Each structure stands twice: as C-alpha cells, then as structure tokens.
Amino acid sequence: MKKEKNERKVNGVENISGAEALLKSLLAEGVDTIFGYPGGAIMPVYDKLLDFEGRIRHILTRHEQGAAHAAQAYSMVTGKPGICFATSGPGSTNLITGIANAFLDSVPMVFITAQVVSGLIGSDAFQETDILGVSMPVTKWNCQVKKAQDIPGAVAKAFYIATTGRPGPVLVDITKDAQIDKLDYNYSKCTYLRSYNPHIPLNNKAIESAAIMINHAEKPLILAGHGVLISRAEKELKEYAEKAGIPVALTLLGLSAFPAGHRLYAGFLGMHGNYGPNLLTNEADLIIAIGMRFDDRVTGNLKKYAKQARIIHIEIDKAEINKNVMVDLEIHNDAGEVLKALIPLVNKASHEKWIREFRICDKTEWDRVIKSEISPEKGDIRMGEVVNMVSELTKGDAIIVTDVGQNQMSAARYYKFTEPNSLVTSGGMGTMGFGLPAAVGAKTGRPDKEVIVFLGDGGFQMTIQELGTILHYHIPVKIIILNNSYLGMVRQWQDMFFSKRYASTELVNPDFVMIANGFSIPAQKVMERDDLKDALKGLLEEKGPYLLDVQIEKEGNVLPMVEPGASVSEVTLNYKEK
C-alpha cells in the first residue's frame, strides 16, 4: 500500500483520477456533506467516494429533486454552499426545479452532474442531455469539463462564483472519461476572475446622502429581505434600527433577520403579511429597502406603490435596482457593509407617534383576524392555531421548514422567530414538495437544533418518498401535516375569485399515519382540538423522527390578503365583509 501511494507521486505531485481530484477539491473547499443520487455516468465518482468515508458524508435521497432541496436547506441553515451530485440525462434534469429554486432565492450551491463520455456528446447517446443548455437560465454560471486536468480549476471557479456577490447556484458537468482519466493534481482556490467583480467598494457619498435622508424623515420604514441574512448583518440591522428608532418589516425570506418580539418589529410584508406594514407602506415618507428586490408579492400594484415616499435601495445586485420600483437613492453594495458604515452617521431618534400607528394596526388585525385564528372558540382546528402553539412550545427557538401554500403563509404569520436563519422556505419559485427534503437538509446541517416542518397534504405527497431518506439515516425531523384534503391555496383563490368553483383541488388522501409507520416513523392523527397540545408535546419530546397528521378546517383561508391587482394599502381583512 505504501509503495502504491509513492507511485502516485512524482516530484511531490499526485497523479490521480479525475473522480478523486473532484473529491479532493471539494475537501479543499471545506465540504463535508453531499446530497445526491448515483447513476451510470457518475459511477467513477461514487466509487471513489467510498475512499473518503469519515471525511465526506453522502446523503442518498430518494429522488434528485429531493437532493437539490436538501442541499439548499443545508446551505440556508449553515451558511456554507450546498453540494449536490447527480448522473447524466434524467438525473441532471431532475435537479432543474431545485436549481431554479436556489437561483431565485440567491442560495449558494454547487451542482456536480455527470455526462456521457466526451466522444459521444452530440450523438444522442443513452442518457445524454444538454444540461448546460437546460440549466443556463437558472444558474449563475455553468461549464462542462471534458478533460481530467480541468476539474480542479472548474471546481475552484464554481465555488468562487457561487459564494461571492449575490450568491447562487452553479453547475459543473463532467464527462465520464474525465472522471476516469489521470491528472497531476494541484488545487488553488479561486480569488479573482477577469470581468467578474463581486465586491464593489463602498459608495460612501451615497451612504452619507442616505443618512441625511434618514435623519430628516418623520415616517421612515425599513423593509429588510434575504440579503440581510445572506450578509450575516442581523446585528447591524438591529443596532441601526434601534439607534434611528425605525420600524422594521420583513419579507418572507427575510423573516428571522429581526426578532419578532422586538418593539420595532413592524411585521411580515407581502400578500398574506401583516396588516400594519402593508397598509402603512403607503403612509411612510421614507422607505429604506435592504437586501430585498421589491417582488410583486411585496409591492402589489406597482402603479399605487409608495408614491408618497422617497426610497433608498441597498442591494448587492445592480440588476435589481430600479427594476420594479424606481428609487431616489441607490446604494449598490453589500447590506452588512452599508449598515456598518451607516450606523455612526444616523442620529439617535425616536418615532413613537409613527410606531404607534403600527400598534393600532396590530390591534385591528388581532381583533379581526388573529384572535379567532389562534384561539377559536369552536369549529375545526385551524392552521394558525397549530403554528402558534408550536411557536409557544418551542419559544420561537426551532428551525422552521415549510412547504408552499397555506401552510407556508400560516407558518410565516404565526411562528415568532427569535434566531437568524431559522426559516427555510421556497420564496421566489414557490415549489410545492420543497418542505420534506428541505427538512432533511436543515437537520443534517444543524443537528443541534429542533427542526420542524409544516406541510400541506398536497405538497407532502409530491416528495413523500423522502421519508425513505429519514428512515435510512434516522433523521429526527418533526413533521406536521396541516391536512385539509385540498390544495389549500389554490382552493382559497377559487373561493375568493372563481365563485367557489373548486376545479381539481379536492384531494383523496391515503392514510398518512400508516405510510409513516411503513417507514418506521412514529405517527399520530389529530382530529380534536382537545388532543392537539398533548400531541404537539409528544412530537417535541420524541428523540427520533415523528409525524403528526393534523386534520384542520377544510375551507379555512389565510388572511389578511393583498388581492391581485390591489394596492398594498387595500388589504382585505375579511373578504366576506366586502
């Protein structure tokens, strides 16, 4: 064995296969966990992966889409890029939804796909697909490697691009012969690429102008998004808001960037967000948008959005500035760097009269929506009731994963996040089926934290096979199905805008408890309110995975709602009263 190792080195340089070079390069970038699914074209990599046991952990999901979502969640809770393997053809194309999801939510990920041998490219060989062409619109960068000696450089470039500037997914497609052929291995991390300048020097003049605008505002409002969390600027946001006395509203992906119990917390923005931040956006005289992109679910009707306000936009991606909303002052820099520079320049201030307006809105929303949702006097169990009870039992300290739809909006509205990076959800893409595999990735990345996933019965069945991954690795995630036997959000729209014509939204569901038991996961069905709290306590006390199938109100709606085409100030609290 010693002689073999010596033969691998010539003048101190290792001569190894492309597959081994790939894995050594990943180690050099600090990778310890990979999510993936093997196949013919990537077999050389998986064969060599056995030699890296103890250094690199591989999680075999039950579908490539599941691997992509798990790797994204892993990245979101750890701050490290998520790594995902797949083979050629259907293996790589099954990743596309997950790649697009990470692209729209700006999550750093490195996807490694295999390709047929280079001599067969273009011949329609078995399981050949042009994954570069397919993935180009939803990757920050992609490339194909046909020679073993090019693997280390491609990996280094991939990590640099994925993690710098506005982060996002990259894809490296490696032919099978490149995985097998030998190279003299040498690895250097990438720190510079010509024509790619991810770090922009601070625009101090613009920051000084922003401070003047902030110091003269009477009704300033901070809108903070995912960019705050990406730049790890939660402390700076809190310090800045407290010094300037400015209320802070959060986008969906910005939730957990500012503590929910803070006196300056204005609430959750967006179509199903809180009443105050939506309504009062059109009352503010200054909006400071930090690391958010003025998504349509936040702005509502752009023609009626914040016309009375001056707008400062702090954003790392210049393409997002003036794309949807024209702003008065642009600061094209990293959110954390800007906030650090801004804090000394803003005056110590208090906007108590302005903040009181948010509290008045909170009271209105409590009386007309929240009270009956979280403390109903009669009727079936409600979504918000379940989420609120989980929030109280965990004291807001768990990592919450959601699928997409009513379960997602209820979790965003009623869980009180106290720690940064404690919400994992699909924002821009709105991917049903995201939740269960994402819970696998979140718990893998943060085994020290309680990870609870809220699912709708529809989204759960889209990736239900990932119960097999939970069984395989005994991943102690806590699964709560908010089961109303409908595609709930689609049904809500049919209720509100299509005269209750429920077309293809009612579900005939299997016995989820029996299915969970088939995967050796303890489970319980909850049908009565009197059983709910004890069931949730039992779920949280369980050491391993656990599933609760909670039968909720069949035709419950998530309110308030900014209806399509409406202004953010035209918030519907109860559409039946209109």
67 near 36, Cβ under 8 Å?
A: yes
Query: Looking at 126, 323, 498, 533, which residue is catalytic?
Result: 126
Cα 425 to the center of its chain, rounded Å: 4
Tell me the Cα Rg of the chain. 25
Query: Looking at 24, 140, 176, 443, which residue is catalytic?
Result: 176
- Find the helix or strand (DSSP H, E) in which 23 lies: helix 18-28
Distance CA 162, CA 225 (A): 19
Distance CA 425, CA 423 (A): 6
Alpha helix locations (H) across 105-203?
131-135, 151-163, 176-180
Distance CA 542, CA 133 (A): 46
The phi and psi torsions of 135 (rounded to 5 degrees) equal: -90, -10
Write the secondary structure of 522-542 as one string of H (helix), E (strand) and C (coil).
Answer: CEEEECCHHHHHHHHHHHHHC
Reply yes or no on whether 64 is catalytic.
Answer: yes
Q: Which of 386, 388, 424, 405 is nearest to 507 (CA)?
A: 405
Which residues in 239-389 belong to E strands, given as ranges? 248-250, 265-268, 286-290, 310-314, 329-331
Reply yes or no on whether 126 is catalytic.
Answer: yes
Query: Looking at 43, 52, 127, 283, which residue is catalytic?
Result: 127
Q: Which of 167, 297, 144 is nearest to 231 (CA)?
A: 167
Query: Looking at 20, 29, 64, 337, which residue is catalytic?
Result: 64
DSSP assignment, residue 572? Answer: B
Reply yes or no on whether 176 is catalytic.
Answer: yes
The distance between the two most distant Cα atoms of the chain, rounded to a whole number of Å, is: 83
Write the secondary structure of 348-398 as one string of H (helix), E (strand) and C (coil).
Answer: CCCCHHHHHHHHHHHHHHHHHHHHHHHCCCCCCECHHHHHHHHHHHHCCCC
Q: Which of 574, 524, 548, 271 is nearest to 404 (CA)?
A: 271
Distance CA 200, CA 468 (A): 45
| Residue 3 CB neighbours (<10 A) | 7
- 3 state SS of 124: coil
Angle, CA of 410, 414 and 420, to the nearest 5°: 105
69 near 424, Cβ under 8 Å?
A: no
Q: Which of 445, 413, 432, 436 is nearest to 101 (CA)?
A: 432
Reply yes or no on whether 127 is catalytic.
Answer: yes
482 near 406, Cβ under 8 Å?
A: yes
Query: Looking at 109, 389, 432, 489, which residue is catalytic?
Result: 489
Hey, which residues are catalytic here? 64, 126-127, 176, 489
